């Protein structure tokens, strides 16, 4: 089972003008096996939610809670959260010069599982994932994210999702900057993950495009650091037709 419960989460960042509250009370529960989409205009706090759950030091949690299967995520360090079963596919994955993808993946897998993967099956698993993500064999020898195209970075994120097999995946604008072919490859990767037992997905996006490939169970509209509306997949269609205007006006 895997349940991610976000309760009344308030988050601030430090700016030159002092602290600024970005999340103003977010409550959201992702139950076993559910996919939730968070949609909202730029600057509404979607990425802040993603990075706050993952534990990025830039974001200060001022109140509220985040529980993964009842465990207090906010008490955990960044790496403990990952080992507990959280995964964040980043919008802007970070370059790590001189560290090969192969070394990185093996180190991460070892950390998550608490033991080194069996060499023979591991190589097969990695090659299989690379092939499905349409990344060629030499990709494993490149430095992590260095010189990757936008599409390669996102496919590499989803390859990690596949191999590290978390309980709950948060995908932060994984669709941004992808052409239609790469979007399909990435979506198929996410869907393969969803087919596994009890996996939760929090899909953060600005556009409805990706939701044609990854069908959410629930859609939340995010405006000004809060959930402004919630519904089923039909809410995405309505947003597609009418945009965010009625929410942003209401928020002013």
Partner 1 sequence: MTAVAEALENATDRVESHLNPPASYDLADHPVPTGREEVWRFTPLKRLRGILDGEASDAHLKWDTTLPVGVTLTEITAEQARELELPPNERPAALSAELSGGAILLDVPAETVVAEPVVLRLTGSSVDDLVWGRVLYRVGAHAEVTLVLVHEGSARYSAIQTFLVGDGAQVNVLTLQDWDDDAVHLGRDAIRVGRDASVKHTSISFGGDLVRMHANVEYAGPGGEAELLGLYFADEGQHLEHRLFADHNAPKTKSHVVYKGALQGEKAHTVWIGNVLIRKVAEGIETYEENRNLVLTDGCQADSVPNLEIETGEIEGAGHASATARFDDEQLFYLRSRGVSEKEAQRLVVHGFFNDLIRKVGIPSIEEKLLETVEAELAKNVLKELV
Contact residues toward partner 1 (CB under 8 A) are: 54-57, 77-79, 81-83, 87-88, 90, 93-99, 103-104, 107-108, 111-112, 143-144, 160, 164
Query: Token digits for 149?
Result: 């195209």
- For residue 153, the minimal CB distance to partner 1 (Å) is 11
Strands 218-223 and 35-39: parallel
* CA–CA distance, 46 with 225 (Å, rounded to integer): 8
Given the complex with partner 1, which of 152 and 224 has the nearer CB atom? 152
Of 87 and 244, nearer to partner 1 (C-beta) is 87
Structural contact between residues 7 and 64, judged by C-beta atoms closer than 8 angstroms = yes
- Taking the complex as a whole, how short is the minimal distance between the CB of residue 132 and partner 1, in angstroms? 19
* 112 versus 211: smaller Cβ distance to partner 1: 112
Torsion of CA 129, 134, 138, 140, to 10 degrees: -40
Using the minimum distance from each CB to partner 1, give the nearer residue, 72 or 79: 79
Contact 190, 210 (CB under 8 A): no
The separation between CA 143 and the C-alpha centre of its own chain, rounded to angstroms, equals 22
Shortest spacing between CB 110 and partner 1, in angstroms: 9
Residue 46 or 226 having the CB closest to partner 1: 46
Please provide the DSSP assignment of 150-189 as one string.
HHHHHHHHHHHHHHH--SEEEEESTTTT--HHHHHHHHHH
The nearest distance, CB 227 to partner 1, in angstroms, is 24
Closest approach of Cβ 188 to partner 1, in Å? 22
């Amino acid at each position: 089972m895997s349940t991610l419960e976000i309760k009344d989460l308030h988050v601030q960042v430090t700016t030159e003008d002092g602290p600024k509250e970005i999340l103003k009370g977010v409550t959201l529960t992702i139950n076993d096996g559910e996919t939730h989409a968070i949609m909202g205009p730029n600057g509404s706090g979607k990425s802040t939610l993603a990075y706050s759950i993952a534990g990025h030091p830039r974001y200060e949690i001022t109140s509220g809670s985040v529980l993964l299967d009842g465990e207090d995520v906010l008490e955990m360090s960044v790496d403990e959260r990952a080992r507990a079963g959280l995964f964040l596919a980043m919008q802007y994955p970070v370059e790590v010069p001189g560290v090969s993808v192969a070394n990185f993946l093996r180190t991460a897998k070892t950390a998550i599982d608490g033991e080194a993967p069996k060499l023979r099956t591991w190589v097969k698993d990695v090659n299989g994932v690379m092939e499905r993500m349409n990344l060629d064999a030499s990709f494993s020898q490149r430095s992590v994210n260095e010189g990757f195209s936008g599409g390669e970075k996102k496919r590499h994120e989803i390859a990690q999702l596949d191999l590290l097999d978390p309980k709950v995946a948060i995908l932060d604008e994984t669709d941004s900057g992808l052409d239609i072919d790469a979007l399909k490859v990435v979506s198929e990767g996410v869907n393969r993950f969803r087919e596994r037992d009890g996996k939760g997905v929090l899909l953060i996006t600005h556009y409805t495009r990706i939701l044609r490939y990854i069908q959410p169970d629930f859609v939340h509209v995010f405006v000004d650091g809060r959930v402004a509306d919630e519904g089923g997949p039909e809410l995405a269609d309505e947003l597609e037709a009418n945009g965010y205007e009625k929410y942003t006006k209401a928020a002013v």
